[in-house]
Structure 1
Amino acid sequence: MNGRAATDGYDTTGTPPTPDGDVFSNGMVTLRGHATIDGDATGGGFDVARDHMVSGSQTIGTPMSFMEIKVPAGIPDLGDLKVLPGAPELADRAPDENQGGNKGTHGDGGKGNGGKGPKPKHGRHARRQRTLVGPGSFLASDLIVAGRSTLFVDNSAGPVTLYVTGRVAVKGNGRIVVADPNPEKFAIYVASDRPVSFGGSAATRFYGVLYAPHSAVEIVGGGQWYGAFVGGALRESGRSTVHYYRALKGP
């Protein structure tokens, strides 16, 4: 961690932060610049410029193994999920036992197929939209959201899980927006060792869980990231803050 990157915890959206932004690493925990961990840190070793950069304990821990990802059979395969300027607007819905598959193309920001995304704007500043309608699980070979584009996750009716077998990149002014900000209702599982990169401005908000145990994960820029993140290695920099959702710890 470097720059003014930080971690803390929270209970529900809008509540004050709590000192539960714990960090665990099988390797070194390194803090540079003005980076801070508002919580406990556990790792194979520490390279911390100043003790006050970790508000809680610093513990040499035993290496942990992480659960392997098994992609469920039969879930909708979206191929390369790329949300880029100039791409058509699409909505994808997981099939249910009553309706079967339902994958449509439309220009109403997701509303025509059950989504609740914002209405699309036209012109030079328009955001391109792709909508995933839950509840359900989806498969993608790559996940790329870039330019002034939005992946809208309609998890209002139930959780959405996205399995990615390649790389993940959310960059530039690209963003992932959810209908329900409960991080337990949106998850990205990366079943590969390809890199994962999240970037964004101070206005960026992400709510969900990222599980990428074999990937190098990078969180940069000034965004606010709510939920939990697991990576083979993790680098956080800029003014980004990871807010750990305490309910994910369980009872």
Structure 2
Amino acid sequence: MPIPGSAVFAQRYRAFLFDMDGTLLNSIAAAERVWSIWAERHGLDVAAFLTTIHGARAIDTIRRQALPGVDPEAEAQWITEAELNDVEGVVAIPGAVAFLNDVPSDQWALVTSAPRELALRRLQAAGISPPAVWVTAEDVANGKPDPACYRLGAQRLGVAAQDCLVFEDATVGIRAGEAAGADVMVVTSTHLTPMVTAHAWIDGYEQFQVRRDAEGLLRVERRME
């Protein structure tokens, strides 16, 4: 259920910007398998470390650890290669495929912290068609929560970020959407504990659809029973 009376459901947008992991697809099990191996190898508290990996680029996650003698670029490449080889259990968020099919291809973009090759691999594993417009880890100098990725996604669609609705699940991504000036919809399907948020939220897409009005603007609506 969305937050009662949330203004987001009454607003119209020029475009939608979607995060990928945790927002359009669930890759948590695969990602945590790979990152657990990495964390154990570097002597980290695995359980505590895994809470920090979601929504951020691998290289940014590694840099935050400030481990002596570690080359973040080389380690991030190891992570990417390992994740490319492990997509077991990667599935679409309930209703995501049908929801995306409601959105014209030139009015949505994927904005992910994953490298392009990994994003494509996970989308294919989840049965989601690759988008016409996307922003991946290689496209920005600074990852989320920096807003550059969402601003670039909007730019590639030819619209202002302030006219977009960002779909996100992770704190760093929500902060990036906010800083870009966009409205934010939080997708909670993969959350194990409730997230306290001032934003509207949905637990999957199955009960929702996209309406495009005569002016070409988009709105999220609850499906009629």
- TM-score by length of structure 2 reads 0.27
Larger helix proportion, structure 1 or 2? 2
* Structure ranking higher on relative contact order (CA contacts 8 Å, 6+ apart): 2
Larger strand proportion, structure 1 or 2? 1
- TM-score by length of structure 1 reads 0.25
